Structure 1
Amino acid sequence: MFYKDFISWYIYCLLYLRKDKLGDLWAGYITPGKPYPHEHINILGDYPVSLYLKTSSRKRSTSCLAALVALPLMLTAAQAQPIFNITDLGTLGGNFSHTYDINDHGQVTGISRNASDELRAFIWDQTNGMQDLGTLGGNYSSGRGINNQGQVTGISRNASNESRAFIWDQTNGMQSLGTLPGSNFSRGGDINDHGQVVGDYTNASDELRAFIWDQTNGMQDLGTLGGNYSSGRGINNQGQITGRSKNASNKYSAFLWDQTNGMQDLSTPLGVNNSSGIDINNQGQVTGISINASDEFRAFIWDQTNGIEDLGNIPNYMSQSSAINDRGEVTGTASIVGFSERAFLWDQTNGMMDLNNLIDINDPLFGQVRLTGAYGINNNGDIIAIEHDFWNNGGRQTRAFLLTRQQVTNNNPTGVSEPGLLGLMGLGLVGMRLATRRQKAGT
């Protein structure tokens, strides 16, 4: 909460520099409440660069001047972060909804509970709200991927209670993608703008295998990295696929697959115990999850030039990524096992940010929702997320939300308006002038 702390200190500085005129109205200095060394106060809260200043009168005057000068720089840094409006996507009549993917038109797919307590795949848009996609004849379906044509893929049970990958569109409804010979299971995970689907199925030996499907060639097995397992998770418009596979050492490794090179292991330069590719963008960047030597989950991003980059975490949290857009922005979940979870957004400029801190303070849902996981991001920077009610307060359980990015970023969690902030800066300049005169006069 650096911003609020800094504004508090800034206001204090204005008062301190004029305390001779305030008399009995002077109430002492404001302490942000952060840990600080003896005879010092912390004026920058938990901002990455912590600053502690001595509380003597002379030092305090100097530090006040520093704060007055620094405020515009701090405002500029804060404004670099995006800000969002939040929309509750509702449900299909039950008390559960969960998002999995969003396209560039703002259409969302996922899973929701209906009034009959059955789980159904859905598509959502601003005009029509949440629509039930039905099933393949059974009592279950879940949407996992959506492309810019509005086609959805996922998994559904058929009339024989068998799970099958499906493709859905407004014209043809839900169609089964079938499975390969000897299999009794398939699941769609993602779909690109050409209608190619990636997912997994079980073979005759009941081993899970990644597949690619298209209208011309049907379903094809992608093989493995030498072990007995693979699963496809993400596909881009070039037909590149990411997911995870067991290697010859029986460890899970993230992979990149294409028609020319087949399946390539991405985890070797990572030096970790296990890894998984989760999503891939149209630049060929992969995001995923690794488990380091301390058995901590860490989100990563990979490309051909730079290899693996650890995305870090929110302090004291582990991180798991879920999606990446063509700008290289990543969403996911930061968690303390058994305690709490936070939805995050990562970018090259700001690093990992808690999405709960990026909601517009004027939004009606500001402060009413705690986002615990983010599962998709489109090329406009809009994000899909969930709130998981760990204690089942009010029977809400899990709820789906859309975070729409504002075109003009203005991260201002203080609640102080821009004119107000400009006014503070103006007062600051006056305060600096007064302080300078006092110092020249020897006071």
Structure 2
Amino acid sequence: MTQKTQLTQVSSELQNLTVTKSHIATAASSYALTDLGTLGGHLCVAKGINDSAQIVGYSITSSGQRRAFIWSPNQGMEDIDTLSDTSTCAYSINDYGQMVGYFVSDSGQRKAFIWHETKGFQNINTESNSFSEAYGINNFGQVVGCAISSDGNRKAFIWDSKNGMEYISNGSEIESIAYSINDSGEVVGYSLSSDFILKAFVWKSDKGIQELPGFLGSDINMSGQVAGFYAVSEDNNRAFLWDRSDKFQDISTISGNVNLQFFDSEANSINNSGLIVGYSDRIINPEQELWVRKAFIWDSVNQMQDLNDLTYTGDDWILREARAINNHGQIVGWGNKGESRHAFLLTPIS
């Protein structure tokens, strides 16, 4: 199947999907895979997707440069025109096509940006920031990420065009990062206390910071459900689901509740239907304690499933990590295609 045919197929399938919470209560039984291609090099990673199937991430060019991209069913992959000709990376895109990420300045420092097709590229830093990255954006244009504050530590921030950049802080942490924000202005991330304990948090301007039982909050949906991961031992991370009723759930691994050293699962994204995606180690030889990283989808009925088992990938593909899921149930991430790392889009087909 040619890429043009794949783009047409995805666009057609998208027309038949609706953004309602009742549309997808469980994972699809199968998915169609679209290879997003690259910007000329041998590596491409998809980081975010909106409800119009616009996808962002980064790709290595033929000259070896890391560049942010936007991909759409009609246009395919396009390099983002920024103020810098150096490295760029995009992490998230909202339903209005606003993208956020970082670029590398002429002095070699990472700087947060926001971009839109009609408004172009905007550096959202203050002059004092020596480092910043933007990880999430909601449909009101509120951006979250982290920046180096005046005390020299990384601090979570929230930014909008009216108020500029403001730090999210409880006053006691020595480091924090914000990863996602929903349309209610709820922010999730993690903070590191002075006694070096990592805690996931959820924050809202009128309520402040609430610590969660987890290790790191990756994403939050409109129901206030948080997906992330926590530490079950010194060396193991496990994906979790938390909600506003303070219910905390370990969502296990693809191979079940195994306790092998370094055996992990991490949740990256949750949509408004409560579907969660991420990656999990999967046992391939229990006696030798061998495992491989696989992309997963989780729902409350089927629990965690290997997306490789739900997708015809052919002999060349192994889906390694699912990075984001939209409200149509479309999933993006990265995998190994032969000797290269490629970005993928999975679209429900049943």
* Fold match (TM-score > 0.5): yes
Question: Quick one: distance in 1 between partners of 2:238 and 2:171?
Answer: 22
Equivalences for 1:216-365 in 2 at 5 Å? 216-224=162-170, 226-267=172-213, 275-293=215-233, 295-315=235-255, 316=258, 317-335=263-281, 339-360=291-312, 365=313
Structure showing the higher helix proportion among its residues: 1
The partner residue of 1:402 within 336, 339, 345 is 345
Question: Quick one: distance in 1 between partners of 2:150 and 2:141?
Answer: 27
The answer on whether the counterparts of 1:134 and 1:141 sit within 8 Å (CA) in structure 2 is: no
Query: Once the 2 structures are TM-superposed, how far is the Cα of residue 135 of structure 1 from its aligned partner?
Result: 3.3
Equivalences for 1:380-399 in 2 at 5 Å? 380-388=328-336, 393-394=338-339, 396=340, 398-399=341-342
The answer on whether the counterparts of 2:27 and 2:275 sit within 8 Å (CA) in structure 1 is: no
Secondary structure of 1:372 counterpart: strand
The answer on whether the counterparts of 1:225 and 1:245 sit within 8 Å (CA) in structure 2 is: no
Aligned pair count reads 313
Moved over 3 A (4+): 336-339, 365-368
Query: Once the 2 structures are TM-superposed, how far is the Cα of residue 251 of structure 1 from its aligned partner?
Result: 0.4
Equivalences for 1:74-93 in 2 at 5 Å? 81-93=28-40
Amino acid at match of 1:157: V
Query: Once the 2 structures are TM-superposed, how far is the Cα of residue 175 of structure 1 from its aligned partner?
Result: 1.0
Secondary structure of 1:387 counterpart: strand
Query: Once the 2 structures are TM-superposed, how far is the Cα of residue 230 of structure 1 from its aligned partner?
Result: 0.6
The answer on whether the counterparts of 2:113 and 2:122 sit within 8 Å (CA) in structure 1 is: yes
Tell me the residue number matched to 1:143: 90
TM-score (norm. length: structure 2): 0.85
Amino acid at match of 1:187: E
For the aligned residue pairs, the C-alpha RMSD in angstroms reads: 1.9
- C-alpha change, 1:207 and 1:367, in structure 2 (3 Å) is same
Amino acid at match of 1:283: S
Secondary structure of 1:277 counterpart: strand
Question: Quick one: distance in 2 between partners of 1:294 and 1:233?
Answer: 23
User: Is 2:62 aligned against 1:115?
Assistant: yes
Question: Quick one: distance in 1 between partners of 2:168 and 2:226?
Answer: 18
Tell me the residue number matched to 2:155: 209
User: Is 2:99 aligned against 1:152?
Assistant: yes
Give deviations 1:306-331, integer Å, cap 9, x for gaps.
42111111115521111000001000
Tell me the residue number matched to 1:27: none
Which structure's relative contact order is higher, taking Cα pairs within 8 Å and 6+ residues apart?
2
Amino acid at match of 2:223: Q
Question: Quick one: distance in 1 between partners of 2:105 and 2:85?
Answer: 4
Equivalences for 1:5-154 in 2 at 5 Å? 81-154=28-101
- C-alpha change, 1:322 and 1:261, in structure 2 (3 Å) is same
Secondary structure of 2:317 counterpart: coil
Question: Quick one: distance in 2 between partners of 1:238 and 1:155?
Answer: 24
Question: Quick one: distance in 1 between partners of 2:278 and 2:132?
Answer: 25
Give deviations 1:283-341, integer Å, cap 9, x for gaps.
11110010113531100011111421111111155211110000010000112698520
Judge which range, 88-97 or 225-234, deviates more.
225-234
The percentage of aligned residue pairs carrying the same residue is 36
The answer on whether the counterparts of 2:28 and 2:348 sit within 8 Å (CA) in structure 1 is: no
The answer on whether the counterparts of 2:296 and 2:306 sit within 8 Å (CA) in structure 1 is: yes
- C-alpha change, 1:225 and 1:298, in structure 2 (3 Å) is farther
The answer on whether the counterparts of 1:225 and 1:263 sit within 8 Å (CA) in structure 2 is: no
Equivalences for 1:179-194 in 2 at 5 Å? 179=126, 182-194=128-140
- C-alpha change, 1:339 and 1:225, in structure 2 (3 Å) is farther
Tell me the residue number matched to 1:40: none
Give deviations 1:368-404, integer Å, cap 9, x for gaps.
3110110000000010021146xxx54x1x1100000
Question: Quick one: distance in 2 between partners of 1:278 and 1:226?
Answer: 21
Query: Once the 2 structures are TM-superposed, how far is the Cα of residue 138 of structure 1 from its aligned partner?
Result: 4.2
The answer on whether the counterparts of 1:120 and 1:134 sit within 8 Å (CA) in structure 2 is: no
The answer on whether the counterparts of 2:56 and 2:92 sit within 8 Å (CA) in structure 1 is: yes
TM-score (norm. length: structure 1): 0.68
Tell me the residue number matched to 2:145: 199
Amino acid at match of 1:352: M
Secondary structure of 2:47 counterpart: strand
Judge which range, 199-208 or 321-330, deviates more.
199-208
Structure showing the higher strand proportion among its residues: 2
Question: Quick one: distance in 2 between partners of 1:144 and 1:350?
Answer: 29
Query: Once the 2 structures are TM-superposed, how far is the Cα of residue 182 of structure 1 from its aligned partner?
Result: 3.5
Question: Quick one: distance in 1 between partners of 2:99 and 2:29?
Answer: 29
Secondary structure of 1:178 counterpart: coil
Question: Quick one: distance in 2 between partners of 1:320 and 1:367?
Answer: 26
Gaps of 5+ in 2: 1-25, 283-288
Tell me the residue number matched to 1:162: 109
Question: Quick one: distance in 1 between partners of 2:274 and 2:27?
Answer: 16
- C-alpha change, 1:189 and 1:346, in structure 2 (3 Å) is same
The answer on whether the counterparts of 2:27 and 2:297 sit within 8 Å (CA) in structure 1 is: no
Gaps of 5+ in 1: 1-78, 410-443
